[in-house]
Amino acid sequence: MPKDGGIGDSTKRREDIRFLTGVGNYTDDINIAGQTYACFLRSDVAHGTINSIDTSAAEAMDGVVKIFTAADFAQAGGIPCGWQVTDRFGQPMQEPKHPILAEGKVRHVGDPIAVVVAETAEQARDAVEAIEVDIEELEPVLNMKDALADGATKVHDDLTSNLCYDWGFVEENREAVDQAIKSAHHVTTLELTNNRLVPNPMEPRVAVGQYSRANDEYTLYTTSQNPHVIRLLMGAFVLGIPEHKLRVVAPDVGGGFGSKIYHYAEEAFVTYAAKVVNRPVKWTSSRSEAFISDAHGRDHVTKIELAMDENHKFTAVRTDTYANMGAYLSTFAPSIPTWLHGTLMAGNYTTPLVYVNVKAVFTNTVPVDAYRGAGRPEATYQLERVIDKAAREIGMDPAELRRLNFIKPDQFPYQTPVAVMYDTGNYDATLDKALEMTDYANFESRAAESKARGKLRGYGLAHFIEACGIAPSNLVGQLGARAGLYESATVRVNATGSISVFTGSHSHGQGHETTFAQVVSEMIGIDVSLIDIVHGDTSKTPMGMGTYGSRSIAVGGSAMVRATEKIINKAKKIASHLLEASEADIELKDGQFSVAGTDKSVAWGDVTLAAYVPHNYPLESLEPGLEETAFYDPSNFTYPSGAYVCEVEVDPDTGKVDILGFTAADDFGNVINPMIVAGQVHGGVAQGIGQALLENTVYDENGQLLTGSFMDYAMPRASDVPSFSVDHSCQTPCTHNPLGVKGCGEAGAIGSPPAVVNAVIDALQRGGYNVDHIDMPVSPSRVWAAMQQG
């Protein structure tokens, strides 16, 4: 039984109070006296040469403070890319410049050309409409395979082609995999698309720049998942501002899902412009603008082949993927289809040979980067779809085919053929749990009941593994990362015993203010209400890599644990002095330091007071004060896994898919706050259902975004999803971080799309339709069209 507010307790979230009463502090809620408003003129064509920009009429308009074009940023660097991928021939990827404002060419609808800074937002927009831009349209590059053809129009004239890189992994296995597939007993092949998604956190991006001439200091308030990373990238690579003169604040942030990781041009713009106009500059994205300026996600076109022997054991996997980079390389874009994708292609299985080829391609579309799951959903989707197809081809129960090929509990730690080593796992346990929770044994009777009502019922299973808490820094550095992937925390104990924890992780919905406090409360044994979690401000936390890749508790939490351990060690020294006992005999329990085997004790608050009022204190051997910082760099990824089951009903008249039930049995290792973990799974699953059934990003042949608002981009609504059944009782704790945690933020979005699609295919096949694949989103019209063919 967990203690109230400790590890394992479903402690209610403290951050809820401000959100529920309307006093949260989101970036758009920040208004600074004298602020101006920025409005971006964005390209309305996908590809073109800018012949001229005439701002003269606009400059004369009411309220215009200044108009900026690329010429104003001649001294600035481009928006940097944070990961350099090396191709399978040992060459670095092609890396085009990504200017703050378009230089000479526009490369996607939404590419910023000029910015008006004006007294009001409406005046800025009025003036934007008065800027005359002469653009000579060029043929847009949209289809990835066409883009790689000889003589194709180039997105970037200074590159040799539209190929960013041709990556092979593991390159040494290429021929062995080919051979294994050639000689296999059975090979299942599947060609599929992983649909491009728009992350759409409910809070659109906002940036407010401020500059003080008094001390030459800049402040950027921004909707970011990692303010320190923005400070580093923008300060060092774009604007040339040293860190001590640049403060980046990410206050309450209304969701991110990856799209707020990246350093965006608008952030650099408002920061720079604030100095030029010597007034604060605010930019607030509309939703329509977000659709053409926030990084998109996914967008892979893949062919996967799965080989097996006569005993149905997987012998090899070969996969070829075209990954859309969009027009420029967003911050982590190159790493997503490679290191976050190829390394997962072993899945939960003992497949001995895997080869992954990825061709990353530039197109005249919005840049593509990580979106919840980032590479791992793309890996899981193709693997779990092809396994399902294989099971049908050989007439085997899909659950049993998986089980037959699972890595077994006694095989951990398990070295995969794709570089990563799984530390722990028990895939049979999560599969058993999911089958039990969904009453798999009685599915046939439910299917019969649906059939009696004229509906087609289907059962879809997917198992997944992900790699979270990306690290260690020295390894990712070898793989091309241009940043470290540690996390830092400072634990400041105040004189009366309350604690402020400064973490480099950033909470934008994940509830860190509650869960992180629970960990410290458990470690020290003081009430959780005495602990505050501070995040999101570079002026408070020493350094941070931020929140993405389900890394917060595994990496940021570990840093906090390490700092807290330092605190406890020092406090024990103080306690041993106060208790006149050997330090080795001091025990900390429930906020009391006691001497083992005696009734002598001193309270936490007395020790902390002694640290700051060191009258009776070992000054000769110990500094006063009680504040410690730790940097934690993990030795490995963490590997959450789980089994997901979706049960659907297809309406054969309309093709509409109704999700009747969705069950997630996850292994997240140890769990700090079960309520919050369940909430993370719910949200991830809903996004996965969105990808599977509803969401799609569609460009027309001219490169115009047809799904540019919620009118055409189908966001999941409450009526589109069922109540979920989630379980995280199967726990194989991580062996290499102090909390034994694995991370839970992305799992739902990774495991759910194949479960949904597998269920739809199952329903159709049970209904007698010869349909073995439908690309996502499995919309009513696509299902109906497939039924006409099948």
Helix runs in 638-779, H state only: 674-689, 747-766
Find out whether the peptide bond into 650 is cis, omega within 30 degrees of 0. no
Decide: 37 and 536 in contact? Cβ < 8 Å.
Answer: no
CB of 206 to another protein, least distance (A): 10
Decide: 1 and 226 in contact? Cβ < 8 Å.
Answer: no
Please, which residue, 198 or 468, has the CB nearer to another protein? 198
Radius of gyration (Cα) for the chain, nearest Å? 27
DSSP string, 23-72: ---BGGG---TT-EEEEEEE-SSSSEEEEEEE-HHHHTSTTEEEEEEGGG
Decide: 291 and 274 in contact? Cβ < 8 Å.
Answer: no
Please, which residue, 542 or 780, has the CB nearer to another protein? 780
The Cα–Cα gap between 589 and 228 comes to: 35
CB of 252 to another protein, least distance (A): 7
CB of 756 to another protein, least distance (A): 13
CB of 48 to another protein, least distance (A): 22
The Cα–Cα gap between 649 and 659 comes to: 6
CB of 682 to another protein, least distance (A): 4
Tokens of 601: 């004790």
Would you tell me how many other CB atoms lie within 10 Å of the CB of residue 241?
Answer: 21
DSSP string, 426-476: -HHHHHHHHHHHTTGGGHHHHHHHHHHTT-EEEEEEEEEE--BS---HHHH
CB of 76 to another protein, least distance (A): 30
Please, which residue, 96 or 655, has the CB nearer to another protein? 655
Please, which residue, 87 or 667, has the CB nearer to another protein? 667
Question: CA angle, corner 154, sides to 151 and 156, nearest 5?
Answer: 150
Q: How far apart are the first and last CA of the chain?
A: 54
The Cα–Cα gap between 559 and 548 comes to: 16
Please, which residue, 21 or 621, has the CB nearer to another protein? 21
CB of 684 to another protein, least distance (A): 8
By CB neighbour count within 10 A (0-12 exposed, 13-18 middle, 19+ buried), where does 776 fall? buried
CB of 281 to another protein, least distance (A): 17
CB of 716 to another protein, least distance (A): 8
Please, which residue, 96 or 640, has the CB nearer to another protein? 640
For residue 153, the one-letter residue type is T
Per DSSP, 705 falls in state: B
For residue 387, the one-letter residue type is I
CB of 97 to another protein, least distance (A): 32
Please, which residue, 19 or 631, has the CB nearer to another protein? 19
Please, which residue, 500 or 725, has the CB nearer to another protein? 725
Please, which residue, 469 or 748, has the CB nearer to another protein? 748
CB of 590 to another protein, least distance (A): 26
Please, which residue, 203 or 627, has the CB nearer to another protein? 203
- The two most distant CA atoms of the chain are separated, in Å, by 86
Please, which residue, 82 or 251, has the CB nearer to another protein? 251
Please, which residue, 258 or 480, has the CB nearer to another protein? 258
For residue 226, the one-letter residue type is N
Decide: 58 and 116 in contact? Cβ < 8 Å.
Answer: yes
**What is the phi/psi pair of residue 563, to 5°?**
-65, -40
Please, which residue, 596 or 706, has the CB nearer to another protein? 706
CB of 525 to another protein, least distance (A): 24
DSSP 3-state of 333: helix
Please, which residue, 202 or 441, has the CB nearer to another protein? 202
Q: Given the structure tokens 């497949």, which residue do they identify?
A: 351
CB of 719 to another protein, least distance (A): 4
CB of 686 to another protein, least distance (A): 3
Handedness of CA 384, 442, 438, 642 (dihedral sign): negative
Please, which residue, 619 or 706, has the CB nearer to another protein? 706
Decide: 14 and 71 in contact? Cβ < 8 Å.
Answer: no
CB of 197 to another protein, least distance (A): 12
The Cα–Cα gap between 515 and 510 comes to: 9
DSSP string, 86-99: B-TTSPBPP-----
CB of 727 to another protein, least distance (A): 8
CB of 535 to another protein, least distance (A): 14
Would you tell me how many other CB atoms lie within 10 Å of the CB of residue 72?
Answer: 18
Tokens of 121: 């937002």
Please, which residue, 290 or 568, has the CB nearer to another protein? 290
**What is the phi/psi pair of residue 552, to 5°?**
-60, -55
Find out whether the peptide bond into 413 is cis, omega within 30 degrees of 0. yes
Please, which residue, 70 or 783, has the CB nearer to another protein? 783
Strand partners, 719: none
Tokens of 721: 């999803």
CA dihedral (55, 56, 57, 63) in degrees, to 10, reads: 80
Tokens of 276: 């030029």
